[in-house]
A and B are shown apart, each in its own frame.
Chain A
């Protein structure tokens, strides 16, 4: 027999609340070692004794095969004297934490249920609320925890004998399936229109399919809210929907009956197909193959999803056109409608008929949006199917609530080190979104049983954000602020659990409140989550007449940037034809009235778009930049315009001067757009290579709404690859402001914040618009 030896081990990192001790326990038993494991102050402490080979194998496996959620920062191993223990135990920790119950995202209908749905002898034949333990609604029916029928919106439908027997039978797929129901005992659908009400699931769905075929616009209740649907190939219906919804140009999402039809609509690689078929069933953006007038004007991408509820399958089976426009039921940019009366009220005048289901929706959840981009799959709107799943493990003893930004808002709650990101809530400027925002915070706090007094509340540094104001009313002991663009970078690093790694971080977007109170959006930082980010360079400052309001008028943003150029031609004349608003903006700058300073790349894109002909008002956020991106995509690679990184800033003057010069020369607009975009990439590359060399770094993080621009990402990938610089981007949370809350939570966990009181002081000193 080998002599017994022993060692004491301390493991630091994210090792608590991730099943680490049970893992250690099993590992010790597998190697016939005795000892104990416990959660200590500074990590997990282990004592093991036994034969030398077993000890070696144990330490080896500890390092190389930790549980997936664990992230080991450091393992200290010290030799110790054996004490003669004869078994291995998990010792009680002093603060044994109750494990966090996770709320499941909603799941698409499974194959087994689909089979029953279309089986004439099954009691749930054609029943739109069919589900089982493997599928169906979750987050949108849960009203409390534990996840049990009385805590769901199904509580008002008692199970009949048939359902109850299945619910109690361990051998049945519906054993404890909380939303289980059948036509005899469960909720049903009916169809309301001016012609009257059609009752009954079968009849109402058949009638709805017929109406869609006839070109009508249908409002239908889904999992997380109402959709507006119409035949995507019926140009008149699509145009009517746009007009009635006051949605001028923003693309509509499509639902294709199956993957084959989806393939006929868009270019789908293997990864995009997997995304389309994944359990979140997101809207997937991909290059269009089919021409569908009015669906996505001026856009060469289409957003497509597949059916995910039994209702969708029933509609298609009842003869609905095989490609539907499926858009959130709301008037332009309001959040999705989810209550029946609200929907009837808000959508009358938009929908010709309402397909109303009786099951209440616990909370509004939009369809998610994703794309397979240059760096793999990325979620652009994180909602149904993903929320409220955990996206990262953030080491924090205390729970953290991060309230996000005001546009594309989401909130993040960190409990026991797990970061749960809410669904996309939207633009808090809309009253309904603000209510949803407040409701979501209450929801998450109560479901995860977090006490307000324990909570660290984090908000954006913007003193006038509605989210900031709300955060300060929550009554938390310690509200703190995190700067917008640093939060963007931290969101990427949080996804990867990279806390210590020093990186160069590029944070490019439309707007965010900067350290100096000006409007940032073209910032480069160096640093890490644990030590914070220092701003090292940025876009050359320009004036922004009208402040954030200029985001709506590209010519207004252009005025501020162009004011710095010499020898400007008359831009109100051809080929530019800038409207009066441009002259008004120049006047504001001249008088220095309501004029702010900005380093926003989003506004630089707007200025270029204006010069290339986008001189009207934008009808949705980012529209001018998307328009410019489309224009650039149409042209081959051109000689890039200069965008020099000099005197510590990225200088846009030559970039815009070149656009004006080539416009006057009558060069093709697509080529100008491409040369502009490539110039921007090239300039950014030069800056990044210089900074990486200077700081001895080789990882670049890209985040912010600008990095939804695929050609820009492709450029950077090809330009930085040869420099051996690695690029990290968002995947699980959006690079736009939907990812801000995760970044805020991560920086707060590492103490990288300002106290809210300091922010309040700066608000009094600053008249930021």
Chain B
């Protein structure tokens, strides 16, 4: 099974939708709130070459999806 990570924020509705989708698919995943967690934020910036759009879905260290059906939120923090 691939290791799945979800990078998002608490206030982002699209992160929520992606989370619900993963849950419905019964996939195991780790979720990081990049506004609350600076280490996760840093990892996300490296993974996505500095992009600030969430949600970001990572499978085995590879970004597989950014945004949810054409919508995303911009993370404000530096």
Interface of A with B (CB < 8 Å)? 17, 19, 22, 67-69, 90, 96-99, 101-104, 133-134, 138, 145-147, 170-173, 175-176, 178
Contacts and interface: CB of A to CB of B under 8 A. Distances in A.
A101 B17 contact: yes
Given A147-B70, A170-B47, 4 more contacts: A17-B20, A133-B66, A170-B66, A171-B51
B19 A96 contact: no
A98 B66 contact: no
Given A171-B51, A173-B51, A96 B66 contact: no
A488 to B, nearest CB: 28
Given A134-B53, A171-B51, A22 B19 contact: yes
Nearest to B62: A170
B69 A147 contact: yes
Contact of A104 (B23, B62, B63, B71): B71
A170 B7 CA distance: 14
B70 A138 contact: yes
Contacts of A102: 17, 69, 71
Given A90-B23, A98-B24, A101-B17, A171 B48 contact: yes
Given A19-B19, A22-B23, A170-B47, A175 B66 contact: yes
A173 B47 CA distance: 13
Contacts of A101: 17, 21, 69
Contacts of A176: 65-67
Contacts of A173: 51
Contact of B21 (A67, A99, A138, A171): A99
A67 B16 contact: yes
Nearest to B74: A134
Given A96-B24, A99-B24, A134-B74, A170 B63 contact: yes
Contacts of B20: 17, 19, 22, 99
24 contacts: A17-B20, A19-B19, A22-B19, A22-B20, A22-B23, A67-B16, A97-B24, A99-B17, A99-B20, A101-B17, A104-B69, A104-B71, A133-B66, A133-B72, A134-B74, A138-B70, A147-B69, A170-B49, A170-B62, A171-B50, A173-B51, A175-B63, A176-B65, A176-B67
Nearest to A19: B16
A170 B24 CA distance: 25
Interface in B12-70: 13, 16-17, 19-21, 23-24, 47-51, 53, 62-67, 69-70
Q: Is the interface of B mostly helix, strand, loop or mixed?
A: mixed
A170 B49 CA distance: 8
A269 B23 CA distance: 44
Contacts of A22: 19-20, 23
A146 B64 CA distance: 15
Interface residues of B, number: 26
B28 to A, nearest CB: 12
A124 to B, nearest CB: 18
A147 B14 CA distance: 14
A96 B71 CA distance: 25
Listed residue (A68, A138, A171) with the most chain B CB atoms within 10 angstroms of its CB: A171
A69 B12 CA distance: 12
Contact of A133 (B62, B64, B70): B70
A104 B66 CA distance: 15
B21 to A, nearest CB: 5
A90 B65 CA distance: 25
Contacts of A172: 49
Given A90-B23, A170-B66, A171-B49, A134 B72 contact: yes
Closest 7 pairs between A and B when the two form their complex, measured CB to CB: A171-B49, A170-B63, A99-B20, A147-B69, A104-B70, A104-B71, A138-B70
B19 A178 contact: no
Nearest to B49: A171
A99 B25 CA distance: 10
A98 B65 CA distance: 20
A90 B26 CA distance: 11
Contacts of B19: 19, 22
Contacts of A171: 48-51, 63
Contacts of A104: 69-71
A56 to B, nearest CB: 22
B58 to A, nearest CB: 9
A101 B69 CA distance: 8
B55 to A, nearest CB: 11
A314 B46 CA distance: 34
A17 B69 CA distance: 18
A106 B47 CA distance: 27
A176 to B, nearest CB: 6
A730 B18 CA distance: 30
A153 to B, nearest CB: 13
A101 B21 CA distance: 9
Given A170-B48, A170-B63, A171-B49, A178 B23 contact: no
Contacts of B65: 176
Contacts of A97: 24
Listed residue (B66, B70, B71) with the most chain A CB atoms within 10 angstroms of its CB: B70
B16 to A, nearest CB: 5
Contacts of A133: 53, 66-67, 70, 72
Contact of A103 (B13, B16, B24, B69): B69
A99 B50 CA distance: 30
A133 to B, nearest CB: 5
B77 to A, nearest CB: 17
A134 B14 CA distance: 13
A22 B20 CA distance: 8
A420 to B, nearest CB: 13
Contacts of A134: 53, 72, 74
Contacts of A68: 11, 13
A19 B19 CA distance: 8
Nearest to B23: A22
A96 B21 CA distance: 12
A315 to B, nearest CB: 25
Listed residue (B23, B47, B74) with the most chain A CB atoms within 10 angstroms of its CB: B23
A713 B70 CA distance: 38
A104 B49 CA distance: 25
A134 B16 CA distance: 18
Nearest to A137: B70
Contacts of A96: 24
B13 to A, nearest CB: 8
B48 to A, nearest CB: 6
Listed residue (B19, B20, B53) with the most chain A CB atoms within 10 angstroms of its CB: B20
Contacts of A19: 16, 19-20
Contacts of B49: 170-172
A176 B67 CA distance: 9
Contacts of A178: 70
B74 to A, nearest CB: 7
A759 B23 CA distance: 44
A171 B45 CA distance: 9
